[in-house]
Structure 1
């Protein structure tokens, strides 16, 4: 199983686990941020060892679905993806999309979030 598929498998497990929790949105945010930070660490380790890496689109997808705080923390802790300008631009755009989607979801369906 490739690293990319494994990342999305964990994303699916996090979604199912959060759906079964008492506060699904809060659990989702917790799980996705921890998972995103771990994925950044795994990608940094793979980069150092010259192994197969996690695609940038996967890192951006994790940030877009709510894991951007974990991504920022992972970038700072592991010193990963902090200098690559095209990625930083796309990452900032993914943060805007994530916050906008969360705000729209809260506006139209506030009972779902909390």
Structure 2
């Protein structure tokens, strides 16, 4: 008989999705506090992350009960618009969309593109040229 602890360890994912998602949102909030990015940036990421998280949750629920599913392109759109940290948290929380290779490839490509654009905007000084609404701490 296999000890319960061994079974539990086998089920643990190798990628701490929830931790990475939460850490990303915290880093963005700290960057805004330190005035490295406008406050609207972490607010957009947080709002889109909430939307993505709930979309994943609804899709997982629909998958279990044979109801209408959220299109993968819709989930990817939420991720692209800044909701990928929430999508990552949802993937870890619901164990949803973590095994489908084509989905994961698209997901990580979206994360890379999103981070690449954000880094380019910050380091290239482009983020300062965007006319952000005045939101302050």
Aligned partners of 1:70, 1:82: CA distance in 2, in Å? 14
Question: Taking structure 2 as the reference length, what is the TM-score of the superposition?
Answer: 0.62
Count the aligned residue pairs: 93
Unaligned runs of 5+ in 2: 1-37
- How large is the Cα RMSD of the aligned pairs? 1.9
Looking at secondary structure, tell me which structure has more helix per residue: 1
Tell me the equivalent position of 2:59.
43
Q: Deviation per CA, 1:12-41, whole angstroms, max 9, x where unpaired?
A: xxxxxxxxxx93222111111111111100
TM-score, length-normalised on structure 1? 0.73
- Check if 1:109 corresponds to 2:126: yes
- Residue 84 of structure 1 corresponds to 100
Report what 1:99 is aligned to.
Answer: 115
Matched, 1:74 2:76: no
- Greater CA radius of gyration, 1 or 2? 2
